[in-house]
Chain A
């Protein structure tokens, strides 16, 4: 299976909103509501930000939201803050019971 497709980079100013897309296929994103999103700061382990496409774990800011349309999932961060600057990865359950990650998106807060 191929990695999910994400933009290499996105940027925004503090207070603005940004959206990161994650495009898969009918064998993964399109077939399951099991997309998760992870935030990774340099040198750190990934942190779960969104699961089941749009649900937030306890403790994650409500500035983070997820959605899906067809084979594309999206992560939106509103009210950008400097601490949001990080790499973001999407991940989807896929047919045959495997999992696939996206290529990652570097978010820069200007």
Chain B
């Protein structure tokens, strides 16, 4: 059974860097074809894809946020970490991590973690 869970601060100040951790179980991020992605959703708004890291350490980023995003993995800890620099109030959202299986879709999602940006 695959599960994922996001963790990190619920409140960050403007200009700070957000660091979120996705801890997962039920699969290995060293298995061919597997990936973990991050998607966010501002309150009442649509989903927005942020980043994806593959089993072979290839990384992909949203073109609009690429300069602010970094995604890394720790295979031994079953964790994926996302950092987003220079946080602004518009970055307030629920942040989800999700398993990307062999079918190029996000088939299992974490419960999400809400992040607010305020001084």
Binding site for B on A (CB under 8 A): 1, 3, 34, 36, 38, 40, 45-48, 51-52, 55, 57, 89, 91, 93, 96-104
The contact string, 1 if C-beta is below 8 Å from chain A, for chain B 76-119, is 00000000000000000000100000011111111110000000
Instruction: Determine how close the nearest CB of chain B comes to the CB of A2; give it in whole angstroms.
Output: 10
Which of B47, B62, B108 is the one whose CB lies under 8 Å from A89? B47
Is B107 within 8 A of A46, CB to CB?
Answer: no
Give bound CA distance, A48 to B111, whole Å: 14
Question: Is A48 a contact of B107 with CB atoms below 8 Å?
Answer: yes
Bound CA–CA A48/B104 (angstroms):
11
- Extra contacts, 9 of them, besides A46-B47, A97-B60 (Cβ < 8 A), are A1-B63, A34-B104, A45-B96, A51-B104, A52-B103, A52-B104, A91-B105, A98-B62, A101-B48
Closest to A36 in B: B105
Interface residues on B, range: 20 to 34
Q: Is the CB of B106 within 8 A of A36?
A: yes
Chain B residue nearest to A51 (CB atoms) is B105
Do the beta carbons of B46 and A99 come within 8 Å of each other? no
Partner of A98, one of B49, B58, B105: B49
